[in-house]
Structure 1
């Protein structure tokens, strides 16, 4: 019994750490300035229609939820971090979108079985630490015949490589936690969803990032605004040599991916995967 209690307490502590991490910096700015186009792409790929009941899991500020609501769907946006939901509410109001916002853990969604016609996540659920638990919840809350749509950074793409670059500088993950970019592997996602889904369609695409004048400008932006990067730097703040090494490694990563001439231009790869829940 004590082992069960210890595991539950460890999970609560881990989720609290995740909530705090995503509240660091300014993720809403990252979502708006870097990847605003991705939510509408996911919504279109899932054929969201007026009247559909839609759940956006790990919604952040509503990158997919707000476009789904503007398409006429009945939308619930849920996320572990309430600060992101607060920003999402304000953004939705400015856009004229009406939807429900709920704080929720992707690994334990507070919704009935088969509640939604479309269950989406745009670079969100991939960051929940226990992949199978999250996948089970995505399937559970989707109605039979409904659509599950996921957009995730690939391991081989820029963001996947950024996490690989930061890994040597970060604290070891807790037992059982899996790397987020695995959700960008079609085989991994198929194994998570299993035979509970049919009509799986997966394709790799890219989003162009061209707002940074230099690789160093990219690094400094993520150091100040992106929660996972900020958290890694906080962990090594007392070691100037490690900070300098990570500074170099992140700038070098951006340099290797740079396709620009006068400014830094990068194409960040993601996996767009849709599936239908088996009837």
Structure 2
């Protein structure tokens, strides 16, 4: 087997693991409960409107795709995980929204160059392991003068810190993979997109998360629904001490980010970066 064949096989295995990871739990329910407003915010920031050709990359269950379609845009939602797309289809039918859904890898999008007016993603492409390859695909399929719009968790924010806290318990990342929260660093985005974009705008915002009574309730909710956390717990399932330590770390992290003033009510502000830019010619 050649080196190239080895690389292809390793990449396929990696993507299969990612697909399985996001199929675990119930990410569509989590997204609806926690970040429902982020898709609408990004669609508005990108100026999506009737007739626009919109591609939502790593769309999940359509957090941004469905709001984009509600503007009258021609929307294609893509994701590596078909289970998430199926959940999105059901949600779109319930809301009476028409759009297209297609399984696709953010690092190898099966679309022509310059095929879309707007290319966007809400806390999605940040989890593709090879950042430069992914950014190159977003640029390639966006037409000159079109818009690229992203919402990503920041390294300094709660989710960035949560992913960092999970890392010591997780298997080593594959060669070349970079941490997802780097996509929430404006400098990293400038490095990725360079002079291929102009009119760059970045804005930090927060999602208020106040549905949990205690840090332990937050932890248990995510243990049941959030694929990356489920995978880490499963990787440590045979070691009771490590599972107990992971339980403590996740609850302690939430407790440190509690901004609430009422007993029995956990209040957190999760920081994200909203990025928009125009594709240069």
After TM superposition, is the score higher than 0.5? yes
> What SS class does the counterpart of residue 36 from structure 2 fall into?
coil
> What SS class does the counterpart of residue 110 from structure 1 fall into?
coil
Q: How far did residue 222 of structure 1 move?
A: 0.5
**Structure 1 segment 219-230 matched on structure 2, within 5 A:** 219-230=219-230
Aligned match of 2:175: 175
1:271 is aligned, of 270, 273, 278, to 273
Aligned match of 1:236: 236
Q: Distance in 2 between matches of 1:210 and 1:133?
A: 36
RMSD: 0.6
**Structure 1 segment 1-279 matched on structure 2, within 5 A:** 2-260=2-260, 261-262=262-263, 263-279=265-281
Q: How far did residue 203 of structure 1 move?
A: 1.1
> What SS class does the counterpart of residue 22 from structure 1 fall into?
helix
> What SS class does the counterpart of residue 190 from structure 1 fall into?
helix
Q: Distance in 2 between matches of 1:203 and 1:56?
A: 20
Q: Which aligned runs of 4 or more in structure 1 are off by greater than 3 angstroms?
A: none
Q: How far did residue 190 of structure 1 move?
A: 1.0
Q: How far did residue 220 of structure 1 move?
A: 0.3
Q: Distance in 1 between matches of 2:96 and 2:144?
A: 31
Q: Distance in 1 between matches of 2:203 and 2:37?
A: 17
Q: How far did residue 129 of structure 1 move?
A: 0.4
> What SS class does the counterpart of residue 114 from structure 1 fall into?
coil
Q: Distance in 1 between matches of 2:99 and 2:133?
A: 26
Question: How many corresponding residue pairs?
Answer: 279
Instruction: Map Cα deviations across residues 48-81 of structure 1 (whole Å, 9 max, x no partner).
Output: 0111000000000000000000011000000000
> What SS class does the counterpart of residue 160 from structure 2 fall into?
helix
> What SS class does the counterpart of residue 176 from structure 1 fall into?
coil
Instruction: Map Cα deviations across residues 145-176 of structure 1 (whole Å, 9 max, x no partner).
Output: 00000000000000000001111000010000
Instruction: Map Cα deviations across residues 189-236 of structure 1 (whole Å, 9 max, x no partner).
Output: 111011110011001100100000000000000111100000000000
Q: Distance in 1 between matches of 2:159 and 2:190?
A: 21
